[in-house]
Amino acid sequence: MSFSASAAPTLLADLGGTNVRFALTHPDRSAPLLDGSVRRYRVKDFTSLAEAIRQYFSDSGLSASRAVIAAAGRISDGETVKITNNPWSIVAHKLQAELGMDSVHLANDFAAQSMAVTLLKPADLVSVGSLPIPVISGREEQTFAIVGPGTGLGVGGLLMREGKASVLQSEGGHAGFAAHSPEDIEILNYLNQRFGRVSNERLICGQGLVNLYDAVCNIAGKTPEPLQPEDITQRAEAGSDPICVRTVETFAGIFGSVAGDLVLTMGAWDGVYLTGGLIPILLPWLERRGHFRERFEAKGRFRDTMEHIPTQAIMNPEPGLVGAAALAMMELDKSFPLK
């Protein structure tokens, strides 16, 4: 494999609360990620990101002099980040010096997830609801919301303006949970007694699924079992536990409410992309079993508008890395294809 002398590979990292994923991208390649370069590591197995990167280079036999790090946390001055739900802190210039790199660029993970939308193919997406997948255009003014439950709840935005893409970085997952039904109110009261303030992330993420299961058990007068998120979804899928079925249905409905609220807050009239590690598992409930679209559209005087806003699930297994590749292209002032 040969590359032009003026171009060089870039290390990509998608860093969350539980896992860090690595890959390489190269501006001479049409695909965002180099074949065979994707690897995943558990955060808890390393004391720092630098240690994990060295392990990746050793395992893969690859190397790079530049890096784009998409991290689950707020980026301060483009230079530092304390990872949410993760013990690592990263300072870009220190990481650059430690690894002997030419540059290290930090971005919020949902800035990367948002940019990924520009590079995804139709096969990477599944419509949730009956509306077609939107076409992203370099000629029109468009605004999209990106939201996804994983270890936490990420929120971002993609803005297309005058043929250029930009991202809105946010910590919208920490916005307060708004109850919309009598059951919501009971759930809110239960979680308020347990946590005090209740954010959307307290319900819509992996641990949020467990919190919601505990709340549904409390409402039903049942004693909750010590279940993990995967236990709840497996029992729900098998239909073997009515409480777990109800939990996942309720999760999907509340997720629809949260996604709809984001449209109103951000003016994301062109569509919403659903991403995160839980999406492939939850897709049957999002599509038909959990009232996702019903609650997404239930926005009072804006119902008619909401009925015409498409929602689509990202099924590509590495949207964070794909988005980091798009950010790397932007950093090199290299254009990328818009559908």
Phi-psi region of 100 (alpha: psi -120 to 50; beta: other; left: phi over 0): left
In this model, does residue 214 exceed pLDDT 50? Answer: yes
Tell me if residue 70 falls in helix, strand or coil. strand
What is the average pLDDT across 332-337? 56
- CA–CA distance from 49 to each of 52, 254, 287 (Å)? 5, 34, 37
Q: What is the pLDDT of residues 109-122, one digit of tens each?
A: 889 999 999 999 99
The predicted structure's pLDDT at residue 2: 33
The predicted structure's pLDDT at residue 212: 98
Q: Which comes out higher in pLDDT, residue 87 or 334?
A: 87
CA angle centred on 13, ends 7 and 16, rounded to 5°: 165
Q: In whole angstroms, what is the distance from residue 218 CA to residue 297 CA?
A: 28
Residue 325: which of 47, 43, 38 has the closest Cα? Answer: 38
Query: At 17, is the pLDDT very low, low, confident or very high (cuts 50, 70, 90)?
Result: confident
The predicted structure's pLDDT at residue 22: 98
Task: Please report, as a single letter, which amino acid is at residue 2.
Answer: S
Mean pLDDT of the chain: 91
Q: Is the dihedral of CA 152, 201, 231, 227 positive or negative?
A: positive
Beta sheet of 19-25, edge-to-edge order: 39-42, 19-25, 10-15, 66-71, 103-108
Helices 49-60/92-99 angle, 10° precision: 40
In this model, does residue 149 exceed pLDDT 70? Answer: yes
Residue 157: which of 262, 307, 35 has the closest Cα? Answer: 262
Structure tokens at 152: 């936490």
In this model, does residue 5 exceed pLDDT 60? Answer: no
Q: Is the dihedral of CA 250, 198, 86, 144 positive or negative?
A: positive
Lowest-pLDDT range of 51-60, 295-304, 330-339: 330-339
Q: What is the pLDDT of residues 173-185, one digit of tens each?
A: 999 999 999 999 9
Q: What is the pLDDT of residues 218-246, one digit of tens each?
A: 999 999 999 999 999 999 999 999 999 99
Tell me if residue 73 falls in helix, strand or coil. coil
The predicted structure's pLDDT at residue 339: 45
Query: At 53, is the pLDDT very low, low, confident or very high (cuts 50, 70, 90)?
Result: very high
Structure tokens at 67: 């890096």
Q: pTM for the whole thing?
A: 0.90
The predicted structure's pLDDT at residue 169: 81
In the chain the beta strands, taken as DSSP E runs, fall at 10-15, 19-25, 39-42, 66-71, 75-76, 80-82, 89-91, 103-108, 125-128, 142-149, 153-161, 164-169, 272-274, 311-314
CB atoms within 10 A of CB 301: 6
Phi-psi region of 61 (alpha: psi -120 to 50; beta: other; left: phi over 0): left
Task: Please report, as a single letter, which amino acid is at residue 33.
Answer: L
What is the average pLDDT across 104-110? 91
Residue 122: which of 108, 112, 132 has the closest Cα? Answer: 132
Tell me if residue 300 falls in helix, strand or coil. helix
